[in-house]
């Protein structure tokens, strides 16, 4: 657009316009890949409104008929507006304020008003998380505190949930439910009005502080950290929602609730309020008109197809809302059935659903603590990612206003810290005794529909008319490669302004002042405060328009020309280069032997996951099936866990515990020996198949998928472990267990077996000498500091093992206390600990189902990431042998599928009635210490002597920039060969044939099979040495010279270019660390 007059020309040349963009866009972050963007948006748009607002609106406004106006607003308003905001952020590479400044400076006020709206949202929305955390912590009681009236906060008018139906008819109208009193008197301590703010509820304040701390660390590194966190926070709520739905539909009365939820009432479509509710739900649910979507889109690559993303994300949002309705109303139907009342009387929306109606329903279920915990975990995660994504967008918007200041050093982190601190202080007013009244003011005025609808009108006018929809379409074509449907352009120019104006007028006409609970009227200054909160965002945009015109010189026409002229650098011309990851091939002899060892490990290790899945599914019973002897598989010699101590002294020696019979007879169906393999245990086979399916999809795209999955699988076990430790140390006898765990006995150091056990634990726990670590390292950047990584990961591994010991022995100490026996008699290792000792201890705790589920989820995740990392290394090793074949098309995926299928078929032998005997052969022979120790000797000889430790040190200096400590070189040349040889000799001298349970002896062919499994990996390396010398021509000296000469291209000369401080490489240093931790952090990698 050319200037039309000299004054105008001078103004534009001189850049005197105060609204003009900064001359240079400073470096800012970028999503590591498209999945992070999609999940971040999912976290933003799929929040509490999907669970507690949409289902209620649906049943209130005609059930299935409500979907007609809902889908009308979805396609006429929701998707076009969402696409507009995301595409604008992506197009300009700027966040919620500066993107509007770039496209049309006159409308920069939209971004500033959205920033104010985001700030208010961030301040009040997190209070819901504080309530949810307090409820979650309250579930860890023998009886849910809101399920009865036997608490200190209850009044004489309290009526609990379990009152029989007939007794309800004559109750005074002053009665309140136990869950209502828990909410109002225990959680809120609610005063009579905003005039009586009262004191801070310090338990709520603590939960609020916890929420802010979590939010801060979720995004303290910007999109680099937020993009990883959303892999869990945006997906795990679906797991919880599905679990709650499955539980809900199996309850009596669920079908009535679902029928009530969706039964259509077409007559309701004649009510304008129904259409208004549909439009407002789209507006709130899609989180548009706040600048958040634009901020998230600004971190995209320039040519990302945000058009397709917008449709996918919006439809996913609506599908989630519909899905959540089934989960909610199935449970509300159950509650109405139990209470014998109409479902209309129990259905609520907003906090009333989350903190009164649903907890009341859960309290009537079997295992109420478990389902309550599931529900509030879902609520917390749904709210958490919405909160921290809003907070990230807020900080990004401010940082983009002053990039030269905030994108230097740690200033952006300090801005984030300041935002959290100020918002926390404001939030303290909402956790006082009158805090709910303040919360309602924010919800009803500051973050209501009026500001958002106003911004929707201005956005469509800005893009559709001021900048020009046709111009914007041309920009979109440059960005995504084609022009979107003309329907979008039509929406931006006509439909959105008309629909939004209609919604705004309807809202203003129907507006009524806020009344809490439809009874309490605020004082005049309360309404004034609410109006102030609303106007501070709404009026920013028109005031900015006036200010821009006022400070711009020239005639009115010239001023309009200047303030509507877009920035010259509106389009980001990003050169985004992805460097193909080169790989280093391993040496053949040791590598192939390690490959065989990995294959055996992959085949048998996953069977442990099948056992753990079966135990996990068994926790979903009213009584843990291994806690009693009242089951079909129990024998007459069974003794349950709850037998009193004195009665144990005269019992026959043939007795078995209920947990042992569950393990041997229910899970394994154990035969008398390997000679009697019996049939396949099909429930175990199903769990084995499930484990393989999960593993396949965790790594089906190689490290691109595995590197993301480990963000959850490698970290969440620590959450479970910490929960189990906290539970353990609060049990009687825990101190004795921990004391037994760590009490020193120096005399044991004289026993050589102690030293051997220590060495073998290091060997197994660090998963070395299998080729797995080399495969993971091959995906690193060439100059990654693997020296520092090695120390950090090994120390983390050992610290985890020590930490796990506290969690385990605190519980074993409790069990020895309960049974009145010495802790030595209950302490076991391997499967004995995981599937007998610990389940037995858990069965004696309060809430045994919950802690059992926590324990087996931890076991599954610890085993799962070890399994799929081994599998990834296995497939990588084979693919690197024939790269020209496997790295073409989908051949690598087919190789992975073949590996999984073959391993599953072999694993079927281990889930037969004699399968445990086969499993023990793999564990004792194929994956024992002898192969690994042999490879350790050969590796150190290869690097320390054949290639030369000094040469390798020079290579390391070229790679990481400095020479590691000389101690490493000394270890490779002398210490490792000597120590490994000593361990190998000790193992061979002390070797005894395998006996199951120290009693059962295998037949000769069983031992032969075990020996074959061991030798197929051990002998590969020496046989390869002989083969290499045999096929190489020349004298022996010449042959040795040839076969010990390294490749010319030993060092990778990788050109690794990073754009905007990140690349689209499938792995980076953080992901390698996560993978290595996943592979090695479990307390015992081998059984």
pLDDT tens readout for residues 365-384: 888 898 899 899 999 999 99
pLDDT attached to residue 621: 84
317 labeled part of a ligand binding site: yes
pLDDT attached to residue 862: 86
> Which H/E stretch holds residue 221?
none
pLDDT attached to residue 1064: 36
**Measuring CA to CA, how many Å separate 326 from each of 110, 234, 243, 255, 257?**
37, 20, 12, 10, 8
Going by pLDDT thresholds of 50, 70 and 90, the confidence category of residue 583 is very low
pLDDT attached to residue 578: 29
What angle in degrees, to the nearest 10, is found between the helix axes of 703-713 and 682-699?
Answer: 120
Region of 820 on the Ramachandran plot (φ > 0 left; ψ -120 to 50 alpha; else beta)? left
pLDDT-above-90 percentage for the chain? 29
Which of 126-135, 230-239, 355-364 ranks highest by mean pLDDT? 126-135
Q: Do residues 904 and 680 lie in contact, with contact meaning Cβ atoms separated by under 8 Å?
A: no
400 labeled part of a ligand binding site: no
Going by pLDDT thresholds of 50, 70 and 90, the confidence category of residue 918 is very high
> What are the tens digits of pLDDT across the range 767-818?
777 777 777 787 788 888 888 888 888 888 888 888 888 888 888 888 888 7
Beta bridge partners of 996: 1000
pLDDT attached to residue 1071: 40
pTM beyond 0.75: no
What angle in degrees, to the nearest 10, is found between the helix axes of 588-618 and 848-881?
Answer: 160
> What are the tens digits of pLDDT across the range 507-540?
999 888 998 888 899 999 999 999 999 999 899 9
Going by pLDDT thresholds of 50, 70 and 90, the confidence category of residue 190 is very high
Average pLDDT over residues 915-935: 85
Give me the count of residues in the chain: 1087
810 labeled part of a ligand binding site: no
385 labeled part of a ligand binding site: yes
1031: CB partners within 8 A, 6+ apart: none
pLDDT attached to residue 421: 95
- Rounded to the nearest 10°, the torsion over CA 884, 890, 893, 897 is -110
Average pLDDT over residues 21-34: 60
Mean residue pLDDT across the chain: 82
Going by pLDDT thresholds of 50, 70 and 90, the confidence category of residue 71 is very high
> Which H/E stretch holds residue 177?
strand 176-177
Going by pLDDT thresholds of 50, 70 and 90, the confidence category of residue 25 is very low
> What are the tens digits of pLDDT across the range 670-694?
999 999 988 999 999 999 999 999 9
3-class DSSP state of 978? helix
Going by pLDDT thresholds of 50, 70 and 90, the confidence category of residue 642 is low
pLDDT attached to residue 688: 94
Average pLDDT over residues 726-749: 84
pLDDT attached to residue 73: 93
> What are the tens digits of pLDDT across the range 263-319?
888 888 898 989 998 998 898 888 888 888 998 888 888 888 999 999 999 999 999
pLDDT attached to residue 460: 93
**Does 577 score more than 50 pLDDT?**
no
**Does 1083 score more than 60 pLDDT?**
no
12-26, 33-47, 503-517, 534-548: least confident range: 12-26
Angle 614-618-622 (CA atoms, 0-180°, nearest 5)? 175
Q: Which of 384, 391, 420, 432 is nearest to 136 (CA)?
A: 384
Which of 457-461, 583-587, 756-760, 859-863 ranks highest by mean pLDDT? 457-461
pLDDT attached to residue 944: 85
**Does 168 score more than 50 pLDDT?**
no
Can you read off the two tokens belonging to residue 334? Answer: 């159950």
Which of 210-219, 770-779, 969-978 ranks highest by mean pLDDT? 210-219
Give burial (CB, 10 Å; 0-12/13-18/19+) of 23: exposed
Q: How many CB atoms lie within 10 A of CB 1001?
A: 12
What is the distance between the alpha carbons of residues 575 and 749, in angstroms, rounded to a whole number? 62
Can you read off the two tokens belonging to residue 477? Answer: 């074509």
386 labeled part of a ligand binding site: yes
Helical H segments across 730-766, by residue range: 734-742, 752-765
Can you read off the two tokens belonging to residue 820? Answer: 């009145």
Q: Strand 638-639 vs strand 520-521: parallel, antiparallel, or unpaired? A: unpaired
Going by pLDDT thresholds of 50, 70 and 90, the confidence category of residue 569 is low
Going by pLDDT thresholds of 50, 70 and 90, the confidence category of residue 173 is low
**Does 166 score more than 80 pLDDT?**
no
**Does 18 score more than 70 pLDDT?**
no
> What are the tens digits of pLDDT across the range 835-845?
887 888 888 88
Which of 36-40, 427-431, 448-452, 986-990 ranks highest by mean pLDDT? 427-431
Going by pLDDT thresholds of 50, 70 and 90, the confidence category of residue 4 is very low
Average pLDDT over residues 198-207: 94
3-class DSSP state of 656? strand
Q: Which of 1050, 789, 774, 788 is nearest to 939 (CA)?
A: 774
Spell 682-715 as b/e; 16+ CB within 10 A means b: ebbbebbbebbebbbebbbebbbbbbbbbbbbbb
325 labeled part of a ligand binding site: no
| Reduced DSSP (H G I as helix, E B as strand, rest coil) percent helix, strand, coil of the chain, to 5 | 70, 0, 30
Q: How many CB atoms lie within 10 A of CB 303?
A: 14
Q: Do residues 120 and 533 lie in contact, with contact meaning Cβ atoms separated by under 8 Å?
A: yes
Q: What letter would DSSP give residue 831? A: H
Average pLDDT over residues 747-769: 80
> What are the tens digits of pLDDT across the range 710-735?
788 888 888 888 888 888 888 888 88
pLDDT attached to residue 56: 79
Hey, where are the domains in the chain? 6-162+174-563, 588-643+655-1080
pLDDT attached to residue 169: 41
**Does 15 score more than 50 pLDDT?**
no
**Does 407 score more than 50 pLDDT?**
yes
Average pLDDT over residues 154-163: 79
> What are the tens digits of pLDDT across the range 304-357?
899 999 999 999 999 998 998 898 888 888 888 888 888 877 777 667 777 888
3-class DSSP state of 1001? strand
Q: Strand 656-657 vs strand 638-639: parallel, antiparallel, or unpaired? A: parallel
Q: Do residues 664 and 647 lie in contact, with contact meaning Cβ atoms separated by under 8 Å?
A: no
Going by pLDDT thresholds of 50, 70 and 90, the confidence category of residue 900 is very high
The domain defined by 6-162+174-563 folds into Hydantoin permease (1.10.4160)
What is the distance between the alpha carbons of residues 75 and 77, in angstroms, rounded to a whole number? 6
**Does 505 score more than 50 pLDDT?**
yes
pLDDT attached to residue 1063: 35
Which of 560-574, 799-813, 902-916, 976-990 ranks highest by mean pLDDT? 902-916
């Amino acid at each position: 657009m050319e200037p039309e007059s000299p004054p105008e020309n001078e103004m534009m040349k001189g850049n005197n316009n105060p609204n003009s963009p900064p001359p240079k866009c400073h470096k800012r972050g970028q999503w590591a890949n498209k999945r992070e963007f999609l999940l971040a948006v999912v976290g933003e748009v799929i929040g509490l409104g999907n669970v507690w607002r949409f289902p209620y609106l649906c049943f209130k406004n005609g059930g299935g008929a409500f979907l007609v106006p809902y889908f009308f607003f979805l396609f006429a308003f929701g998707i076009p507006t969402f696409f507009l905001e995301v595409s604008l952020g992506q197009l300009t590479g700027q966040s919620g304020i500066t993107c509007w400044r770039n496209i049309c400076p006159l409308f920069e006020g939209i971004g500033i008003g959205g920033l104010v709206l985001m700030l208010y949202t961030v301040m009040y929305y997190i209070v819901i998380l504080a309530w949810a955390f307090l409820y979650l912590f309250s579930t860890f009681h023998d009886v849910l505190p809101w399920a009865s009236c036997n608490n200190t906060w209850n009044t004489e008018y309290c009526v609990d949930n379990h009152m029989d139906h007939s007794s309800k008819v004559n109750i005074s109208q002053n009665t309140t439910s136990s869950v209502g009193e828990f909410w109002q008197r225990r959680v809120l301590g609610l005063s009579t009005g905003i005039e009586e703010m009262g004191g801070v509820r310090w338990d709520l304040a603590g939960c609020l502080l916890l929420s802010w701390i979590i939010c801060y660390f979720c995004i303290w590194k910007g999109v680099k950290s937020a993009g990883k966190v959303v892999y869990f926070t945006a997906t795990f709520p679906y797991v919880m929602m599905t679990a709650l739905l499955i539980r809900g539909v199996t309850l009596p009365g669920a079908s009535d609730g679902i029928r009530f939820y969706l039964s259509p009432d077409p007559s309701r479509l004649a009510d304008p309020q129904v259409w208004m509710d549909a439009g407002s739900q789209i507006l709130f649910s899609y989180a548009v008109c706040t600048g958040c979507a634009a901020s998230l889109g600004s971190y995209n690559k320039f040519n990302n197809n945000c058009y397709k993303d917008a449709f996918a994300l919006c439809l996913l949002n609506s599908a989630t809302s519909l899905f959540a309705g089934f989960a909610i109303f199935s449970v509300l139907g159950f509650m109405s059935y139990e209470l014998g009342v109409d479902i209309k009387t129990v259905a609520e929306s907003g906090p009333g659903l989350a903190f009164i109606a649903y907890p009341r329903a859960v309290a009537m279920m079997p295992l109420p603590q478990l389902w309550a915990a599931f529900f509030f975990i879902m609520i917390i995660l749904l709210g958490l990612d919405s909160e921290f994504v809003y907070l990230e967008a807020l900080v990004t918007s401010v940082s983009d206003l002053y990039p030269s200041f905030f994108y230097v050093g740690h200033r952006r982190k300090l801005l984030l810290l300041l935002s959290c601190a100020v918002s926390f202080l404001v939030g303290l007013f909402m956790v006082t005794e009158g805090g709910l009244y303040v919360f309602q003011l924010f919800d009803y005025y500051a973050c209501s529909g009026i500001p958002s609808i106003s911004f929707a009108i201005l956005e469509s006018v800005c893009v559709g008319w001021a900048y020009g929809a046709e111009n914007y379409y041309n920009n979109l074509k440059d960005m995504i490669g084609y022009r979107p449907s003309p329907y979008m352009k039509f929406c931006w120019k006509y439909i959105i302004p008309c629909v939004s104006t209609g919604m705004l007028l309807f809202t203003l006409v129907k507006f009524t002042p806020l009344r809490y609970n439809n009874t309490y009227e605020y004082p005049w200054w309360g309404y004034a405060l609410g109006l102030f909160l609303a106007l501070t965002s709404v009026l920013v945009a028109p005031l900015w328009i006036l200010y821009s015109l006022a400070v711009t010189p020239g005639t009115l026409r010239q001023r309009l020309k200047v303030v509507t002229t877009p920035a010259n650098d509106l389009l980001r011309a990003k050169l985004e280069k992805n460097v193909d990851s080169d790989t280093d091939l391993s040496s053949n002899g040791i590598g192939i032997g390690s490959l065989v060892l990995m294959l055996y490990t992959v085949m048998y290790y996953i069977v442990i996951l099948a056992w753990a899945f079966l135990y996990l599914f068994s926790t979903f019973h009213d009584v843990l099936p291994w806690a009693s002897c009242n089951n079909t598989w129990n024998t007459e010699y069974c003794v349950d866990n709850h037998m009193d101590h004195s009665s144990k002294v005269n019992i026959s020696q043939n007795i078995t515990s209920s947990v042992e019979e569950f393990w041997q007879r229910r899970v394994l169906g154990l035969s008398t020996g390997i000679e009697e393999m019996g049939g396949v245990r099909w429930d175990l086979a199903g769990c084995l198949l499930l484990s393989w399916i999960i593993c396949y999809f965790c790594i089906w795209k190689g490290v691109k998928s595995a590197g993301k999955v480990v963000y959850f699988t490698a970290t969440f076990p620590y959450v479970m472990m910490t929960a189990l430790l906290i539970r353990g140390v609060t049990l009687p006898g825990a101190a004795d267990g921990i004391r037994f765990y760590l009490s020193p006995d120096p005399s044991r150091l004289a026993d050589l077996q102690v030293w051997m056990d220590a060495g073998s634990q290091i060997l197994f726990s660090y998963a070395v000498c299998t080729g797995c670590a080399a495969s993971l390292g091959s995906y690193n950047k060439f100059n990654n500091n693997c020296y520092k990584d090695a120390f950090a990961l090994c120390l983390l591994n050992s610290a985890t093992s020590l930490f796990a010991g506290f969690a385990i022995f605190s519980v074993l100490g409790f069990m020895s206390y309960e049974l009145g026996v010495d802790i030595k008699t209950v302490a076991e290792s391997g499967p004995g600990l995981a599937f007998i000792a610990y389940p037995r201890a858990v069965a004696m705790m309060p809430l045994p189902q919950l802690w059992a589920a926590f324990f087996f989820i931890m076991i599954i995740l610890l085993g799962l990431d070890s399994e799929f990392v081994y599998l990834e290394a296995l497939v990588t090793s084979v693919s690197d042998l024939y790269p020209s074949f496997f790295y073409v098309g989908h051949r690598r995926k087919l190789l992975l599928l073949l590996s999984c299928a073959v391993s599953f078929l072999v694993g079927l032998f281990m889930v037969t009635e004699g399968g445990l005997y086969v499993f023990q052969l793999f564990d004792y022979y194929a994956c024992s210490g002898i192969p690994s120790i042999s490879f350790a000797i050969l590796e150190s000889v290869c690097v320390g002597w054949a290639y030369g430790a000094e040469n390798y040190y020079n290579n390391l200096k070229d790679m990481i920039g400095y020479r590691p400590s000389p101690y490493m070189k000394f270890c490779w040349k002398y210490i490792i060969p000597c120590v490994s040889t000593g361990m190998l000799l000790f193992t061979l001298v002390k070797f005894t044939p395998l006996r199951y349970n120290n009693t059962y002896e295998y037949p000769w062919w069983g031992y032969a099979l075990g020996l074959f499994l061991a030798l197929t990996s051990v002998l590969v390396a020496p046989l390869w040495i002989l083969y290499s010398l045999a096929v190489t021509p020349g004298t022996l000296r010449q042959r040795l010279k040839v076969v010990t000469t390294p490749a010319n291209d030993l060092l990778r000369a990788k050109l690794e270019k990073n754009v905007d401080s990140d690349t689209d490489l499938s792995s980076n240093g953080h992901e390698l660390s996560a993978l290595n931790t996943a592979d090695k952090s479990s307390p015992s990698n081998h059984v």
